[in-house]
């Protein structure tokens, strides 16, 4: 098996800013690029209107009261500075990718974006138009709708993870509500700040001057998501979309595990055996042998307070029921028979190789750390992961399959009901 890497490179250096906030960084003097991540408690769980958190995130750093959107866009484009924005249920993130030599110009503008933010009516209307089109397009896609229905069944419609925006929800969204959400949640003084790349002493001095304003509001503790409220423990649902040309299946459950438990890391090995790589059992059976799909995968997703396991695939409409049956047949085999030694050794190598690739470089390490911040996990997760990949046994995997691959929710979305 591949030798596991040291976890030490995954732990960032830290620098205390003048306002008491901490900047975390991964320094590599051999590259000229820098990646700056600003993470805020600004996810959809905080919103009081649907799409509000997404709008606030997408419209932030677009314009200021001193510079309009076209001026800022031209400034960024001319210097090759890329800005990426994303939100999840708990947090919002804004990332800047830039050459080190442009930091002296970018950082004052970045501070201006937070000190003097502006969302114009034109920007807001453009966002609503784009968002409306994106949601309408999503509602025509089987994978989009299957995902929405799956999480609605698992968590309930009133849970932040179980609800989703519709086109009609945008009628209630207002410019003032978006600005207010930004004011409450996008405070640079309490941002979780991470940098990767050529983070030298001069860059840290720039951060001291421009990334450390006094807090305008007291930092609130991270939101605690409510417990799931599933829809009557419903285990199967089919969404009929007559115009669709294929079906999407999604099968899974909320795992009764925490991210820091060794059992969860061991379950990740089980998930990989089932459908986590190209030679997995689901791929070999449903893609290679049966030809029902181009790809089928199983994986887990960590959220704050819960972990979701799911299997997903797009299949030919007429293969919907056979594909679902084959998924449960493969699960039954894992429950009835230990994983052969040769197969388990192959999975160990695949998983360790993927892990090594995920930290092969400064930006990869920085991105992994950002994902850890988003999900609220620590390096205990990585330590458990490496231990599980090295030492989990076939007997342990069989026991996990018997205990955790039961009571699964099945969702299909396609041109016909699941017969």
Whole-number pLDDT of residue 344: 97
Q: Are 93 and 37 in contact (CB under 8 A)?
A: yes
**Per residue in 304-318, pLDDT tens?**
989 999 999 999 999
Inter-residue contact 344 to 394 (CB < 8 Å): yes
d(CA 403, CA 339): 16
What confidence score (pLDDT) does residue 370 get?
Answer: 83
Query: Which domains are seen in the chain, by residue range?
Result: 8-210 (3.30.830.10), 236-414 (3.30.830.10)
For 66-75, what is each residue's pLDDT tens digit? 999 999 999 9
Write the DSSP symbol of residue 54: H
In terms of C-beta density within 10 A (0-12 exposed, 13-18 middle, 19 or more buried), how is residue 241 classed? buried
User: What is the average pLDDT across 362-390?
Assistant: 88
State the pairing for strand pair 33-40/246-255: unpaired
Q: Which of 176-190, 286-300, 307-321, 366-380 has the lowest mean pLDDT?
A: 366-380
* pLDDT classification of 235: cutoffs 50, 70, 90: confident
Q: How far apart are CA 250 and CA 153, in angstroms?
A: 12
In tens, the pLDDT along 31-61 reads 999 999 999 999 999 999 999 999 999 999 9
Instruction: Write down the residue that tokens 């051999």 correspond to.
Output: 30
Using pLDDT thresholds of 50, 70 and 90, give the confidence band for residue 234.
low
Quick one: pLDDT band at residue 5, thresholds 50, 70, 90?
A: low
Element (H, E) at 401: helix 394-404
Q: Has residue 158 got a pLDDT over 80?
A: yes
Chain centroid to CA 417: 30
Give per-residue pLDDT as tens, 86-95: 999 999 999 9
């Amino acid at each position: 098996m591949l030798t596991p890497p040291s976890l030490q490179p995954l732990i960032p250096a830290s620098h205390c800013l003048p306002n008491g906030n901490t900047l975390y960084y991964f320094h590599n003097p051999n590259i000229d690029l820098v990646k700056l991540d600003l993470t805020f408690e600004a996810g959809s769980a905080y919103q009081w209107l649907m799409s509000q958190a997404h709008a606030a995130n997408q419209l932030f750093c677009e314009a200021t009261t001193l510079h309009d959107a076209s001026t800022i866009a031209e400034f960024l484009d001319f210097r090759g500075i890329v800005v990426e924005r994303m939100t999840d249920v708990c947090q919002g993130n804004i990332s800047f990718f830039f050459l080190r030599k442009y930091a002296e110009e970018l950082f004052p503008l970045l501070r201006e974006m937070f000190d003097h933010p502006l969302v114009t009516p034109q920007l807001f209307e453009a966002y609503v138009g784009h968002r409306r089109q994106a949601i309408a397009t999503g509602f025509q896609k089987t994978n989009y709708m299957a995902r929405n229905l799956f999480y609605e069944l698992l968590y309930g419609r009133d849970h932040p993870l179980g609800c989703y925006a519709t086109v009609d929800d945008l009628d209630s969204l207002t410019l003032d509500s978006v600005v207010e959400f930004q004011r409450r949640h996008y405070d640079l003084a309490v941002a979780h700040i991470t940098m990767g790349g050529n983070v030298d002493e001069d860059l840290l001095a720039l951060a001291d001057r421009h990334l450390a304003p006094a807090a305008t509001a007291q930092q609130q503790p991270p939101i605690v998501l409510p417990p799931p409220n599933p829809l009557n423990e419903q285990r199967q649902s089919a969404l009929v979309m007559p115009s669709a040309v294929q079906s999407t299946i999604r099968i899974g459950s909320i795992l009764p595990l925490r991210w820091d438990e060794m059992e969860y890391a061991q379950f990740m090995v089980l998930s990989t055996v089932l459908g986590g790589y190209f030679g997995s059992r689901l791929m070999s059976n449903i893609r290679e042998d049966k030809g029902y799909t181009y790809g089928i995968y199983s994986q887990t997703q960590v959220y704050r307070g819960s972990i979701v396991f799911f299997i997903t695939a797009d299949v030919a409409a007429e293969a919907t029921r056979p594909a679902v049956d084959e998924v449960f047949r493969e699960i039954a085999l894992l429950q009835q028979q230990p994983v052969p030694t040769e197969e388990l050794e192959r999975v160990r190598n695949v998983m360790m190789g993927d892990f090594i690739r995920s930290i092969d470089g400064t930006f990869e390490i920085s991105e992994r750390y950002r994902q850890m911040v988003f999900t609220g996990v620590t390096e205990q997760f990585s330590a458990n992961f490496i231990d599980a990949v090295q030492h989990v046994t076939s007997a342990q995997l069989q026991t996990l399959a018997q205990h955790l691959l039961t009571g699964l929710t099945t969702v299909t979305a396609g041109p016909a009901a699941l017969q």
